[in-house]
Amino acid sequence: MESIGFIGLGKMGSAMAGNLLKAGFTLQVYNRTAEKAATLVAQGAKLTHEPGDAVQRGGIAITMLANDRALEDVVGGDRGFVERLGPGGIHLSMSTVSPRLARRLAEQHGRSGVEYVAAPVFGRPEAAAARKLWICLSGSATAKQRVRPILDSIGQGIFDFGEEPAAAHVVKLAGNFLLASAIEALAEALVLGEKNGIDRSRLADMLGSALFACPAYQTYGRAIAQQQFRPAGFTVELGLKDIDLVLQTAADSTTPLPLAGLLHDRFLAAVAKGRGELDWSSVWLESAENARLSTEYTHEAWVILRSESPAATQLKP
């Protein structure tokens, strides 16, 4: 079994690392907040205090981090892991980051003899814990073959998009763009129904069972209908970050995406109102406000938001 350096132990990273330990891999882990590694250490992982200390020469480093900046912080410099990996090493990048950064890192890694393999995932923390992630993959054929046992231990399926380093990241952004679009469409549809006397739970159930029988509509339709906005599986702030990356990638490739602009404004408004830490399905609240819904459930949502942030908009009961 490979010895792996795992960097980034948020909800997703911790679940993925735990499954690798169960599969028999040896793990050295690093996280900016070391306390988050306690459960993994109890299961046999070794905690390191610098990103570079988590990897071995010619080994494999896995990153699962929140954004481009967090990834750049652990890659290079005196604390980074790329120089420590050296020739024969592989950086398995599983975060949702910009294709622009992926291409730059692949070029920089190559000068140190390190291969960059993109493997971003689709799935919420509960899917990660259950080894039900869908994985997008791109990079050199030999490197992908070497990391395949790792990916098989954390996901239920792999989709290979060739050798271009950024390809899998483009696919991931396209998928998240569609998920955000589905949430926005659901929010507007359920508000339309509610304003016209239709029970939102019954409407969400019908849409997810008949017209749109797929996990996205079922999961987020249920979350909106039941106001399950916390704990967040994926926050509004992260949703805004990903839509910004979608727009950046669209601009880089001269691709008009009018709907992405609308989504950006919707998520930005939610963050401005103090809702950034709620699940991204909570953008439903924006539609509810605009329609001036004034029933009991909007009052319940208002109480939750008011308790978390004085900047939250007050939905009048």
Task: Provide the annotated active-site residues.
Answer: 172
Q: Where are the beta strands (DSSP E) in 52-101?
A: 60-63, 90-93
Residues 6+ away with beta carbon under 8 Å from 27: 3, 4, 5, 6, 17, 20, 21, 40, 44, 45, 46
Q: Which phi and psi angles does 10 have, rounded to 5°?
A: -75, -165
Number of alpha helices (DSSP H) and beta strands (DSSP E) in the chain: 14, 9
A 10 A CB-CB count for 178 gives 12
* Contact yes or no for 92/135 (Cβ under 8 A): no
A 10 A CB-CB count for 218 gives 16
Q: Which phi and psi angles does 97 have, rounded to 5°?
A: -130, 175
User: Secondary structure of the chain: what % helix, strand, coil (to 5)?
Assistant: 55, 15, 30
Which of these, 282, 220, 271, 275, lies nearest to 241 by C-alpha position? Answer: 271
* DSSP label of 228: -
Q: What length does the chain have?
A: 317
A 10 A CB-CB count for 38 gives 12
